[in-house]
Every structure is written in structure tokens, then in C-alpha cells.
Structure 1
Amino acid sequence: MVGGRALSSLYKHENLRIFRRHLGLTQKELIHHFLDEEERPISIATLSNLEVKGGVRLNDVVLKIADKVSIDPMLFALDTQEFAEQIASLFPKKKDRLQIPGQGGKKTGINHLINQLTMHFAQQMMNGTLQKGDKIEADRELAVLLNVGRSAIREAMKVLEVLGMVDIRPGQGTYISSDEADFFRIPLSWSLFLNRSQIEDIIVVRNSLETKAAELAAFCEDVDELHHLSSICHSMQRALLEGNHGEFLQGDLDFHICIARCSGNDVIYTMIQTISNLMRHISGTGMVYEEQIQEIYEEHQKIYGSILIHDGDGAREGMRLHLARSRERYSCKYDRY
């Protein structure tokens, strides 16, 4: 599964066609942008056949494309509607054609401009001149400030709207997101989408935060939060017994977020929640096989048991072992793909 969503190899060939059409590419252009470097060159006829009914080279093509655009190849195994929604979110359309990630030139300039705008707005937020819900400068003013064209500003702002940083209201202007914290999450989100090599560093940070959160949760005195954690554990047990893996994996995500809340540290909670959401979009849970579900449940029970008896060291160690095993399960996903 990816983020708790059902996967099936039956959808891959259809999703390959959806991906190409969303980017506005012909089959020849898709081959040129993504598959020219293959040792065994692929023909238009072969690609057409793969899009219609699949074939032995389908997985290889999907992996090549996913690597080029830095997305999880397992996304191609989502049902077609879910896949289309994910791709539309990751690659918002422009008026003409999408700029293919990795082509350089214009795309590199837009990436830089997005970072400039993000830092500009974040600085205003920090010094108090801009608050959530405020209207920002017109694109003409921003173009002069950053020495770029107005069309480039408009293009960058559309991306920031997709990421949730701003709200573009036709005829009224562009406004700051209602959640001011987005301004300090978006740079992390955007850098992850652009540079997959940073995922390793993000995982290290997340693991450090999660182990500390588990330790602090062992001393939580918030009865409501502890009750919620208990409810999540019971829901996961029920899902395990019923063989409902989608519900179980959603419970897994909820379990980690709830422990972060139980830590009582708002910074830890916000960062874990943000990183978890990012990882769901980019690399999924990595836990996709039935035999792993029982392992996950048992690991959670050890963490939960330590929290109940206020054993901070035990909760921390339980979380550390769980995250290590989760990483092994994630690696196995690609071995079996």
C-alpha cells in the first residue's frame, strides 16, 4: 500500500497512459524525455502496447519514469482515479504544457523563484509585517522586487497555491494561507519534492523525533490523549483480526501522530505530522505485505505497553526498534516490486 491505499499491478498500464497525457506528451516525447537512456531502446509501438495491455517491460518503464521525476514507483499501482489525483497534485498543469522535471533551464529558474518567494513571505511573517490571511503584494510589485517577469511570478504563485502556502482569489488578489505554520513547513516540503536525495536526511530527523516523542509520551497526563491512543490500538487490533489492511495501516499512521501529541511538545508534534504527510506522498508507508502486519502490531503493543506503565526508556527503545524494522520493510518493498 501507499499511504494506506490499495495497490494493484492491474492499473499500471492505464496509469502510464494517464501520466503521459497529464504531462501533455506524445508517446515519442515520453520516450525522448524518460526512456532514451535505456540499454534496450523502446519503440513507439512497444510503448503503445504497454499502455494498452501491459507487458514484461512495464515495470522497468515505470521505474525509469518514477526515478526521473523523483516519485514513488508504487504510485503507478494505485487505482486510476487515485493515481490521477496524486499526479495532478504533484504536477499541476500550466496553460500550455508542463515543464518536465529534470529538463533544466526554465524549471530551474522557477524552483529558485519559488524558494525566493517562500523566504520573502516567511521573513515578513517573522518580523510581523505579514500575518495569516493577509493580502500579499501584487505580481507587478513582486516582479520588480525579485527582478523577474510577471508571468514567472504568476507561475510560481500557482505552485505555492498547490502546496497550500497561498490562496489565489480571482479578481481579489493573493492571500497568505490561513495556517501561518505552512510558511515554515513548505520549504521542507518543496525541497523534498525537488530533491529525493534529502529523504535519507529527513528520515534520520523523523526517527530522532519519534523516539523522543515516545519517551515523553510515557509521562503524558492528558487523559483524553491517552484514551485516544488506546482507541487507536483497539481499532488496529480489530482491523488485524478482520484482515482489513487499509484500516490497519491508517491506524499505524494515527498511532505515531497520537504519540507525538502525547509528548506534550508542540514542535515535535508539528514536525512529525509534517514529515509523515510528506513521506506518505513521496514514498508511502513501505508496509505492503500481509506477513508484516502482525509484526507491526506487536511492535506497537510494546511501545503502547511502555507508555501505559510510564517507562520512558522502554517506550524510546521500543520506538527505535520499530522504526528500524519499518526501514527494513520499506527496503523489501522494492525488492518485491
Structure 2
Amino acid sequence: MPETNKLPDLAPPLREDTSLAVARNVLNYLLTSDLRRGDRLPSERELAQAAGVARSVMREALKALGFLGLIEVRPGDGTYLASTESAILPEVVEWSLLLGEKPTQDVIEMRTYMEVAVARTSAARRDDLQLERMRTHLEGMRSSIGDRSAFRDADVAFHLAMAEASGNILFRRILDSMQALLMVWSKKTLENSDDLSSYYEEHLAVFEAVEAQDADAAATAMSHHMARALARIQAVIDGESSSSI
């Protein structure tokens, strides 16, 4: 390891959640070191020694960073800086480090409230141009049902276009951050889905309500979609938890 990548003091400050503090310090190390995408990190043991914490604490810290897609753990090989750029925005990294099973559910719950409000508001305020943008992204979902990556891109674009149609700039900014926070889990749910047509149908129901400018129907359709989304993510979380026992 080059001298420029010598491990700094990763010890957490007093009176702070240990794994969260260590995760923040490791993140700072990753951002300031000479490591590049795809480079191997120091071993878990070396990182734990630098932080002055048990390996179990460091493992939890690395797990939090893994949830964000910032690092990749390769069993039997080591931990690597993610080869692709994370979508996590700097201003939400503090939230991101809290992610685990329960906090992820909390983010989804908050996003559900936001999405329902967005659907209701966009149905009342959208103009024809904004509706056409939503239609374009919905068609992108339909035409890419066999391509999970393209489907997810169109899915995200649909939700953000609807947020713009609400006329409230904060809806767009907050939902953009929440999309980033849930990026890893949303990818995994798509990877574990045999048929994406049900995802499309849920979005179609939302779109048709917005098109009809029926605010109540739009809110109901979005509430149904988000309930299904939570169930899908929970199934993935449960599957990963059981496989790690």
C-alpha cells in the first residue's frame, strides 16, 4: 500500500454511536486517500486496529458503507472501493450511514408519505408538457421490461418527473435524495423479480389518475404501489439476513 494511503486515526469520538462514527471516519478516509475505484481496501483487521475498535464494530461500519454501494465485499478476496460511482449525494451521506434494516424501512415510510403527496399534488397541478414527460418515462418502463437496468432508470425518471409536475421544488430534491438512499435495495429488488410487468402496471395506474387529474385516485394508486415496494424490499432484506446467519 502506498505511503500516501497510510491509515489515519479512525477512532470514533466519545459519546457517539461507535459503528456510525467509525463508518463516517472510514468514509472520510476513502474520500481523501489515493484509492481509486476498484482498488482494494486495507483488511478488516487493519481498519479495526486503526480505529481502535473490535473487528465486529468495523464489520458493521463496512456493512453500512456497503448498503450505500460505496464499497464491495468480495468473500474470500477482500473489500474494494466500488468500481462505479455512488449516487449518494454529499448532503445525505449522514443519513445514509444510518441505513440498515429498520432505518431503511423508516426511509421507505417517509418516502411513501412524500410520494402520495406528490401524486395527489401533481394530479391537481400538472400541465400537458409535464404529463408527456411522465408518459415518455412510463413508455420507457414498458419497453424495457426485459432490461432491468434500463427499467430502473425509467422508473426513477418517472417518479422525478411527477415530482416536478407537482410544482414544489422541495418534493423533487427530497425524493432525489431518497432515491439515492434506497438505490442498493431497489436494484436488488429488481434483480430478484422474475416479472417486471406488475411494476409497470402499478405505475400505469398512477399515471392514468394523474392524467385524469383525479387527485384522490392518484394518491390511492401511489399508496398501493409504495406498499408493494416496501413488501418487495423487506423480502430482499429478510433473504439477506437469513443467508448471513
Is TM-score (shorter-chain normalized) higher than 0.5? yes
Q: Is the 8 A contact 1:215 1:313 kept in 2?
A: yes
2:139 matched residue in structure 1 = 234
Measured in 1, the distance between the counterparts of 2:82 and 2:230 equals: 25
2:160 matched residue in structure 1 = 257
1:324 matched residue in structure 2 = 227
Deviations 1:260-279 (A, max 9, x none): 11111122222112222233
Q: Is the 8 A contact 1:211 1:320 kept in 2?
A: yes
Secondary structure of the 2:230 match is helix
1:71 corresponds to 2:70: no
Measured in 2, the distance between the counterparts of 1:305 and 1:325 equals: 18
Shift of 1:81: 9.6
Q: What letter is aligned with 2:139?
A: H
1:266 corresponds to 2:173: no
Deviations 1:274-308 (A, max 9, x none): 2222332x644433223251211111111111111
Deviations 1:93-119 (A, max 9, x none): xxxxxxxxxxxxxxxxxxxxxxxxxxx
1:84 matched residue in structure 2 = 83
The one of 46, 54, 64 equivalent to 1:29 is: 46
Measured in 2, the distance between the counterparts of 1:200 and 1:333 equals: 12
Q: Structure 1 stretches of 5 or more lacking a match?
A: 1-17, 39-63, 91-161, 164-185
Q: Is the 8 A contact 1:288 1:333 kept in 2?
A: no
2:119 matched residue in structure 1 = 214
Measured in 1, the distance between the counterparts of 2:171 and 2:156 equals: 15
Secondary structure of the 2:206 match is helix
202-211 vs 252-261, which deviates more?
Answer: 202-211
TM-score, normalization: structure 2?
Answer: 0.65
The alpha-carbon distance between structure 1 residues 329 and 74, as it changes in their structure 2 partners (threshold 3 A), is: farther
TM-score, normalization: structure 1?
Answer: 0.49
Measured in 2, the distance between the counterparts of 1:245 and 1:214 equals: 24
Q: What letter is aligned with 1:83?
A: A
Deviations 1:115-160 (A, max 9, x none): xxxxxxxxxxxxxxxxxxxxxxxxxxxxxxxxxxxxxxxxxxxxxx
1:275 corresponds to 2:178: yes
The alpha-carbon distance between structure 1 residues 207 and 26, as it changes in their structure 2 partners (threshold 3 A), is: closer
1:304 corresponds to 2:207: yes
RMSD: 3.6
Q: Is the 8 A contact 1:229 1:255 kept in 2?
A: yes
2:17 matched residue in structure 1 = none
Secondary structure of the 2:213 match is coil
